Amino acid sequence: MKYVLALDQGTTSSRAIVFDQEARVVSVAQREFRQVFPQPGWVEHDAREIWATQHSVALEAMERSGASAGDFVALGITNQRETTVLWDRATGLPVANAIVWQDRRTAPRCDALRAQGRSARIQQKTGLVIDAYFSGTKLEWLLDKVPGVRARAEAGDLAFGTIDSWLVWNLTGGRVHATDPSNASRTMLFNLHTQDWDEELLALLNVPRAVLPDVVPSSGVIAETESSLFGAALPIAGMAGDQQAATFGQACFAPGMAKNTYGTGCFMLMNTGAQPVASRKRLLTTVGWQGPAGAHRTAYCLEGSVFMAGATVQWLRDGLQVIQSAAEVESLAAQVDDTGDVYLVPAFAGLGTPDWDGYARGTLVGMTRGTTTRAHIARAALEAIALQSADVFGAMAKDARIPLRELRVDGGASRNNLLMQMQADFLGVPVVRPQVTETTALGAAYLAGLATGFWSGADQISSQWQADRRFEPRLPEGERVAKLARWREAVERAKGWARP
């Protein structure tokens, strides 16, 4: 038997999954790492801890599989996107903690860019709205705020990367500094049309080109790992940001096919084909993947981002302490038939698509002493995840001019049947959960396996995709429309709260 190893480096944990040729999960290992909150609105990770946990779980998953290192034909990487690392090329040590995608410290800088009238130009080039979510202003902040760093960067002594680049650097002992177009397109420094770093944007954010990684195809052998890491040199053959990898793993290869991943946040991508589609509804235009198997065919997607999904359930557990484990939220929410007109807007890190309000903050509205219980709040939290996603898909259907016919779902919270039924109800279309919900890691495995001939092509991948359960909408159309309108009232009350 031969296998592919997928490294799935997420926001709160590092995982490794071994897949066989039938795309079945052979073994899994996972380890959480620390979340660092230096001050309100700031979120950081220790990049050294990310690498240490990712390496350890990879070894653990390989050992659990019972296979030897020589049985692995490829290694694929997928990662939390936008999180920004800057490190010393000589020592391999970060100059500071990584700034996480959720971090809002550069919101004032983004305000200034918008005030300068930069929005249209940046969106035209990058497909992105100006927001602190993306890597460009995070990198600029590190260059400006960490003492001595800018001079070292301009001298070529430092390397910038998103987490994929950081992993590749460590996997190759510092021999390779690379990223793929799906991750590069999340930096606000990458031109979708030229498929290269953009000199005008680098100058705007005062980023020296010397710190940037090479951009390589998402599917293709880019390097081999150091043999000392795993007992053999494994080909690093696939690389994509987590949401693009999940779209690939869901076999969304045709324009109009869409998926939603329910992780820390919710990320909805619709394949729009070989040309980027400019958004009029404040969605993101992003590279889906380039390749596969070395072919330079680029697939583009429209994307909507919900910042707080599984993280909302984490807040119920760790912040409010109304549940002991995340799994309890479904049974608690099911204790009531509705929320009693209570709405939770989980704008703890601002609002993403379609509002893009970095100053919005979390609100809980509609409470009364007579009706509001732990169960109502739990149900409101689940509804918030589904309602935010419904907002995004409404905008997406208008932009792409393709009606959504079904939604493929994955990620940890997709196993919550109540949430998936809510999602079908609020969208008004079927929600389909696959048998393999580890589609993010599977997408990375597929990209790597295609590059090494382990899988033959898109047709084989599509044939391996199998539905586990289909959730049909039950909510009458009038009630659905009224629910979405009431939700928007609640969102308006959350906007702008933290504005200076």
Q: Would you place residue 400 in the very low, low, confident or very high pLDDT band (cuts 50, 70, 90)?
A: confident
Residue 173 neighbours by CB distance under 10 Å: 14
Closest CA to 254 of 441, 487, 465: 465
Q: Which residues are annotated as a binding site for sn-glycerol 3-phosphate?
A: 11, 81-82, 133, 242
pLDDT (mean) for 421-436: 94
142-197 pLDDT, tens per residue? 999 999 999 999 999 999 999 999 999 999 999 999 999 999 999 999 999 999 99
**Token code pair at residue 370:** 């007579």
pLDDT (mean) for 84-109: 95
In sign, the C-alpha dihedral spanning 144, 147, 151, 156 is negative
Closest CA to 245 of 274, 270, 218, 223: 218
Q: Which residue has the tokens 């660092």?
A: 36
Q: How far apart are CA 305 and CA 260, in angstroms?
A: 10
The structure's pTM equals 0.85
Q: Which amino acid is at 425?
A: D
Looking at residue 254, what is its pLDDT?
A: 84
- 274 versus 489: the higher-pLDDT residue is 489
Q: How far apart are CA 9 and CA 162, in angstroms?
A: 11
Element (H, E) at 354: none
Looking at residue 292, what is its pLDDT?
A: 60
Residues with Cβ within 8 Å of 338's Cβ and at least 6 positions away in sequence, in order, are 379
Looking at residue 313, what is its pLDDT?
A: 92
Return the domain boundaries, the chain. 3-243
Using the predicted structure, report yes or no on whether residue 385 has a pLDDT greater than 70.
yes
Q: How far apart are CA 457 and CA 447, in angstroms?
A: 10
Q: Which residues are annotated as a binding site for glycerol?
A: 81-82, 133, 242-243
- 226 versus 293: the higher-pLDDT residue is 226
Q: Which residues are annotated as a binding site for ATP?
A: 11-13, 264, 310, 314, 412
CATH fit for domain 3-243, picks 3.40.50.20, 3.30.420.40, 2.30.30.100, 3.40.50.10310 = 3.30.420.40
Q: Which amino acid is at 440?
A: T
pLDDT (mean) for 402-420: 89
Q: Which residues are annotated as a binding site?
A: 11-13, 15, 81-82, 133, 242-243, 264, 310, 314, 412, 416
Among 15-24, 239-248, 401-410, 446-455, name the one with the lowest average pLDDT.
401-410
Angle at 172 between CA 169 and CA 173, to 5 degrees: 80
Q: How far apart are CA 163 and CA 394, in angstroms?
A: 31
CA distances from 284 to 127, 133, 185, 270, 278 (A): 6, 12, 10, 11, 8
**Token code pair at residue 51:** 């690498």
Closest CA to 243 of 282, 278, 287: 287
Q: Would you place residue 293 in the very low, low, confident or very high pLDDT band (cuts 50, 70, 90)?
A: very low
11-41 pLDDT, tens per residue? 989 999 999 999 999 999 999 999 999 998 8
Q: List the 298-306 sheet strands across, edge first.
A: 284-290, 298-306, 266-273, 258-262, 407-410, 431-434, 467-471
Q: What is the DSSP string of 400-419?
A: HT-----EEEESGGGG-HHH
Q: Which residues are annotated as a binding site for ADP?
A: 11, 15, 264, 310, 412, 416
From first CA to last CA, the distance across the chain in angstroms is 60
Angle at 126 between CA 121 and CA 130, to 5 degrees: 65
Closest CA to 286 of 307, 268, 300: 300
Query: What is the residue-averaged pLDDT of the chain?
Result: 93
Q: Which residue has the tokens 């007992």?
A: 231
225-244 pLDDT, tens per residue? 999 999 999 999 999 999 99
Looking at residue 454, what is its pLDDT?
A: 94
302-349 pLDDT, tens per residue? 998 888 888 899 999 999 898 988 888 999 999 999 999 999 999 998
Number of H helices, E strands in the chain: 17, 23
